[in-house]
Chains A and B, each alone.
Chain A
Amino acid sequence: MDGLIFKLDEQFINNYFLNLLKESKLEYFVKNLFIKINFNSFHIVFDFFLNKNFTKIDFELFLIEVPKRLFKDNFKLSYKGDKDLKKILEGITKIFLRVVPSINFEDDIMILSLEKAEFLEDKIKKIFEDFVIKQFLMDNGQIVVRSNFIN
């Protein structure tokens, strides 16, 4: 092996977001969240409290662009669904803004920029900004990112 490798599994991602919901005290509004990692897509299912009832939300986010550099460029994801779903998604992502303050929507594209994420110190981001993504694999419940340092 060479470079810097990140491997994370589906359960880890689910636990992480469930903890965020719990910490944000928003568990009441979002229940039964499950994120499944498929080939280049996230299948996301949860019950959302809307108009005094829980509504099942079920949609898929497709990875359409991987950044060249993890902490410099953007991930782009597209989703299929109606305008109501888009509004709900925008509301839900606000929950996570503290961690990923850089989620934006442009038409049907969700843009994720780790460069703006507040969970990492700027000095650490500066160190990692010279890492380029050599390989990004997303399938079967796992994400693997292989990156190399460029001078």
Chain B
Amino acid sequence: MADFIISLDADTLKKTVLKIIKESSSEIFKQIFNASTKIIFDNNEICFKILLFKYYIKLEKFPKFFCGEYHFSHNLPINMINYEKIPENIKISKNNFIIIIPENAFSKSFSINQISMVNNILNINLGSNYER
């Protein structure tokens, strides 16, 4: 086996997202997405329960290697997002967004074997191949 497994639980993701939002989103988004927001990983979806609203992000397509485009569908309220503060490698539209991981010696060395979101755990299983 040549494996690199990254595991993340929903609570840790929430804390991480809160930090990103604190630095990159509008005041309204900061106010509604707070510590009381509930995040659930299941069935390969990330669900956000914010007040009475339920939002989701679903991974639709991922690249063969770690670098490349990750395509997601979503129902996020993107009108609340400050586009100027979004990193350049994130392209967002009404129902979709794409995260682009740039190619470098590190990211192009790994292939993605599997990405799963089950029972509140996100698992990313990376492989590394070497051909003589």
* Residue ranges of A at the interface with B (Cβ–Cβ < 8 Å): 1-9, 11-12, 14-16, 18-20, 22-23, 98-99, 118-121, 123, 127, 130, 148-149, 151
Complex A-B: 30 CB contacts under 8 Å: A1-B7, A1-B121, A2-B12, A4-B6, A4-B7, A4-B12, A5-B8, A6-B4, A7-B3, A7-B4, A8-B3, A9-B1, A9-B4, A11-B1, A11-B3, A11-B128, A12-B2, A12-B3, A12-B127, A12-B128, A14-B2, A14-B130, A23-B105, A98-B105, A99-B104, A99-B105, A99-B106, A119-B106, A119-B107, A127-B20
Return chain B residues, CB-CB under 8 Å to A7: 3-5, 7
Q: Whole-angstrom distance between the alpha carbons of A14 and B102 in the complex?
A: 23
B105:A15 contact, CB within 8 angstroms: no
Q: How many A-B residue pairs have CB under 8 A?
A: 82
Q: Whole-angstrom distance between the alpha carbons of A133 and B12 in the complex?
A: 14
Main secondary structure on B side of the interface with A: mixed
A119:B105 contact, CB within 8 angstroms: yes
Q: Whole-angstrom distance between the alpha carbons of A148 and B109 in the complex?
A: 27
B16 at the binding interface (Cβ < 8 Å): yes
Main secondary structure on A side of the interface with B: mixed
B11 at the binding interface (Cβ < 8 Å): yes
Instruction: Tell me the nearest residue of chain A to B20, going by C-beta.
Output: A127
